C-alpha cells in the first residue's frame, strides 16, 4: 500500500509495539503530528512542557518498563533541547529512540529557519544516528533504530527526518520486528573454568552489582551465585535493586558515598567480582589504591569497558546470565566463613546513621517513605544530596525500582522520569525525590503531570541551597559558599497549587507521616511535599577527592 512518510512513521511505531510517545510539536513535524492525531486510539502522545522533559520521560518509561522509550521534537531548538536527555540515556545505557524533524532536503545546509545539524551534535552521545532524506528508506531506518537501541548494551538512537520526507508517498510493506537473538556466552570454556577456579580459591571474595545486572535481567543469577558461596555483595548507584537491599549478604553502596562496610570489604578482598559495572571514578576513586589485595574479575557485555578504568585479571565478556549460571554450576557450595563474620562485624559497627533528635532530617524522611510504601514504590530522583539520601535510606528490592541519572548526573532529570515511569507502570506508586535546586530546573513538568492526572509524589528536600556543592565547599573549600545559597523567595507549595497540583509544607518530624499518607492516597493529581530541612545537612560517608575508598569521612 502507498503511504506518506508520516503515515509510515506511525505504522512503524505500531510494528514495534510502541503505545506511548513523549514530545512537543513544531513546524518540521506537523505532518507526523497529523498522522499521530489519526492514530490516537493506538498511540498515546504525551505533550510535555519542554522537550528536555520529553527525553527524560522517555528515559524513565524505558527504565521502569524495560521497553524502548520514544520521544519526538521539531527541528532546531526542539532537537537541541533533547540533547541533555539523550546524553543522560547514553551514559546509563537506556534504550531510547529520539525522533527529530528537520528542514526540507532542499533547504539543508542553507542556515534555514530552525535548521541545526542534530546528527552531528548527537554523534558522541548515541549508539547510532540517522538523517532521512529519502522516504523509501524511512521504514527500514526506523526498524533498525529500534533494534540497535535494545541490542547488546542498550542506548539511545536518533532519527532526524526531513519535512518533505514526511509528506512524500511510497510503498509500505508491514514487517514484524526483528527479534533479538540471545547473546552467546561469549567466553571460552578455559576462561570460564579459570574464573571458577579463582572463585573457589578466594578466601575473601566480594561481588559488585552494576546497572548491567538489571538491564540483563540477571538478578536471580547473582543471588544464586552469592548465596551458594556466601559472598558479600555491594552495589553501584545504578545497580541498586538488582540485588535485594534487605538481603543478609548485601553491604550497601560502594565508592564515594558507599557504606564503610562495602568500602572496607573491597579494600581487604582477595577477589573482586564486578558484574555489569563501569568502574567509574565515583566507585574506584584512587585507582592505584583500589582493591589493593584483590584479583579483579569483570563480567560485562561491552568489551570496551574491560580494562578501560582499571586492570582486570579475569575478563569475561559476554552474556551475563549465561556466564553467571556457568560459574554457579562449577563452584562448590560454601558455608559462612571468618570473612563473613568480619563483614558482619563491620555492618554492625558502621551502620548508616544520622542524628536522632527533634530536627527534620532527610534520612528520616526517606525511612518513613520506605515504611509507608512497604518498600514497593518506584523511586526517581534528581541529582545531588537528595539522590544519595534516596540511595542510602530506601531499601531497593527489585530491578528497575531506583531510577536516577548516574553517569551524567543530570539535575532536573527526576520529574520527567517520574512521569514516564508512572505512565509505564501505572500500578506502582511513583515518588520523585528532589532537591530545591534540581526541582527549579524542570518544575514546569508539573503542568504535564497535572494535565494527565498522574498521582505522582514529589518530595523536595528543601535546604535553600545547592546542597551537594555547598557540602564540598564546606569540607574542601574552607567554607567559601560561592553561589550555592538559594533565597527563600519561591513558595513551592503555592507553585504546586498554581499548576493545579496539591502542595503540602512540612517542617517537623511529627508532620511527615500525615503528609506522606495524604500524598500516597491521591488518585488523580500530583502532590508536592516541601520538606524544610537544614541548609548544612550533609551526605555521609564521603570519600575525599584522591583518597582511597577505605578512607572515608563519616561525620
Domains and CATH numbers, the chain: 2-171 (3.40.50.970), 189-349 (3.40.50.1220), 362-532 (3.40.50.970)
Confirm whether 366 is a catalytic residue.
Answer: no
pLDDT at 183: 83
Q: Rounded distance, CA 535 to CA 485, Å?
A: 9
Phi-psi region of 431 (alpha: psi -120 to 50; beta: other; left: phi over 0): beta
Q: Is the pLDDT of residue 231 over 90?
A: yes
Walk across the sheet containing 205-209 and list its strands.
Answer: 250-253, 233-235, 205-209, 271-275, 295-300, 314-317
Q: Which of 468, 492, 499, 532 is catalytic?
A: 468
In this predicted structure, the answer to whether residue 290 has a pLDDT above a threshold of 80 is yes
Is 15 one of the catalytic residues? Answer: no
Q: Is 357 exposed, middle or buried (0-12, 13-18, 19+ CB in 10 A)?
A: exposed
Q: What percent of the chain is modeled with pLDDT above 90? A: 97
Given the C-alpha cell 512540612, which residue does it identify?
506
Q: With 0-12 CB in 10 A as exposed, 13-18 as middle and 19+ as buried, what is 24?
A: buried
pTM above 0.85, yes or no: yes
**The one catalytic residue among 163, 260, 322, 347:** 163
Residue 163 is a catalytic residue: yes
**Given the residues 114, 133, 228, 367, the one annotated as active site:** 114
Q: Residue 209 and residue 239: Cα distance in Å, rounded?
A: 5
Check if 468 is active-site.
yes
What pLDDT was estimated at residue 296? 98
Residue-wise pLDDT tens digits, 357-404? 999 999 999 999 999 999 999 999 999 999 999 999 999 999 999 999
Percent of the chain with pLDDT over 70: 100
Q: What is the pLDDT of residues 428-442, one digit of tens each?
A: 999 999 999 999 999
Candidates 7, 11, 51, 382; catalytic one:
51
Give the model's confidence band at 90: pLDDT under 50 very low, under 70 low, under 90 confident, else very high. very high
For 311, residues 6+ apart whose C-beta sits below 8 A from its C-beta are: 296
From the number of C-beta atoms within 10 Å of its C-beta (0-12, 13-18, 19+), residue 329 rates as exposed
Does residue 387 have an active-site annotation?
no
pLDDT for res 555: 77
Query: Residue 174's CB: how many other CB atoms inside 10 A?
Result: 10
Of the residues 14, 38, 113, 371, which is catalytic? 113
465-468, Cβ contacts within 8 angstroms, sequence gap of 24 or more: 465/436, 465/437, 465/535, 466/384, 466/435, 466/437, 467/384, 467/385, 467/386, 467/435, 467/437, 467/535, 467/537, 468/384, 468/385, 468/388, 468/539
Q: What pLDDT was estimated at residue 184?
A: 86
Amino acid at each position: 500500500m502507498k503511504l506518506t512518510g508520516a503515515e509510515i512513521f506511525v505504522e512503524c511505531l505500531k510494528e514495534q509495539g510502541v503505545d506511548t510517545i513523549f514530545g512537543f510539536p513544531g513546524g518540521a513535524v506537523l505532518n507526523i503530528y497529523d498522522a499521530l492525531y489519526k492514530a490516537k486510539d493506538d498511540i498515546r502522545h504525551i505533550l510535555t512542557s519542554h522537550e528536555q522533559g520529553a527525553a527524560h520521560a522517555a528515559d524513565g518509561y524505558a527504565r521502569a518498563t524495560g521497553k524502548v522509550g520514544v520521544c519526538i521534537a521539531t527541528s532546531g531548538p526542539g532537537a537541541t533541547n533533547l540533547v541533555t536527555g539523550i546524553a543522560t540515556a547514553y551514559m546509563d545505557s537506556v534504550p531510547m529512540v529520539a525522533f527529530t524533524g528537520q528542514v526540507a532536503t532542499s533547504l539543508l545546509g542553507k542556515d534555514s529557519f530552525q535548521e541545526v545539524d542534530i546528527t552531528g551534535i548527537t554523534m558522541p552521545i548515541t549508539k547510532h544516528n540517522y538523517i532521512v532524506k529519502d522516504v523509501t528508506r524511512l521504514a527500514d531506518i526506523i526498524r533498525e533504530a529500534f533494534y540497535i537501541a535494545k541490542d547488546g548494551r542498550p542506548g539511545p538512537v536518533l532519527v532526524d527526518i526531513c519535512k518533505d520526507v514526511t509528506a512524500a508517498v511510497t510503498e509500505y510493506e508491514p514487517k514484524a520486528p526483528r527479534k533479538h537473538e540471545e547473546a552467546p556466552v561469549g567466553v571460552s570454556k578455559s576462561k570460564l573454568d579459570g574464573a571458577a577456579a579463582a572463585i573457589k580459591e578466594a578466601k575473601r571474595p566480594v561481588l559488585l552489582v552494576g546497572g548491567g545486572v538489571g538491564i540483563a535481567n540477571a538478578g536471580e543469577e547473582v543471588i544464586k551465585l552469592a548465596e551458594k558461596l556466601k559472598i558479600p555483595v555491594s552495589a553501584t548507584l545504578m545497580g541498586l535493586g538488582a540485588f535485594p537491599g534487605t538481603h543478609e549478604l548485601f553491604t550497601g553502596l560502594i565508592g564515594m558515598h558507599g557504606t564503610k562496610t562495602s568500602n572496607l570489604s573491597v579494600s581487604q578482598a582477595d577477589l573482586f567480582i564486578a558484574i555489569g559495572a563501569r568502574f567509574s571514578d565515583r566507585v574506584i576513586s584512587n585507582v592505584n589504591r583500589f582493591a589493593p589485595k584483590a584479583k579483579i574479575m569483570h563480567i560485562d557485555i561491552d568489551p570496551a569497558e574491560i580494562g578501560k578504568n582499571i586492570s582486570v585479571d579475569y575478563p569475561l565478556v559476554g552474556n551475563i546470565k549465561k556466564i553467571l549460571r556457568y560459574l554457579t554450576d562449577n563452584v562448590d557450595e560454601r558455608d559462612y566463613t571468618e570473612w563473613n563474620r568480619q563483614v558482619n562485624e563491620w555492618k554492625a559497627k558502621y551502620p548508616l546513621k544520622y542524628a536522632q533528635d527533634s530536627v527534620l532530617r532527610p534520612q528520616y524522611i526517606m525511612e518513613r517513605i520506605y515504611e509507608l510504601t512497604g518498600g514497593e514504590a518506584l523511586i526517581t530522583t534528581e541529582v545531588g544530596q537528595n539522590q544519595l539520601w534516596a540511595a542510602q535510606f530506601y531499601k531497593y528490592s527489585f530491578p528497575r525500582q531506583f531510577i536516577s541519572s548516574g553517569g551524567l548526573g543530570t539535575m532536573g532529570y527526576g520529574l520527567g522520569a517520574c512521569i514516564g515511569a508512572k505512565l509505564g507502570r501505572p500500578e506502582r506508586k511513583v515518588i520523585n525525590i528532589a532537591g530545591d535546586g534540581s526541582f527549579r530546573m524542570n518544575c514546569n513538568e508539573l503542568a504535564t503531570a497535572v494535565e494527565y492526572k498522574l498521582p505522582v509524589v514529589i518530595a523536595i528536600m528543601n535546604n535553600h541551597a545547592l546542597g551537594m556543592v555547598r557540602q564540598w565547599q564546606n569540607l574542601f573549600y574552607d567554607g567559601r559558599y560561592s553561589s550555592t545559597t538559594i533565597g527563600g523567595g519561591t513558595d513551592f507549595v503555592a507553585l504546586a497549587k498554581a499548576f493545579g497540583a496539591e502542595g503540602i509544607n512540612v517542617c517537623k518530624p511529627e508532620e511527615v507521616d500525615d503528609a506522606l499518607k495524604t500524598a500516597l492516597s491521591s488518585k488523580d493529581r500530583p502532590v508536592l511535599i516541601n520538606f524544610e530541612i537544614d541548609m548544612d545537612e550533609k551526605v555521609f560517608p564521603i570519600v575525599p577527592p584522591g583518597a582511597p575508598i577505605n578512607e572515608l569521612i563519616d561525620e
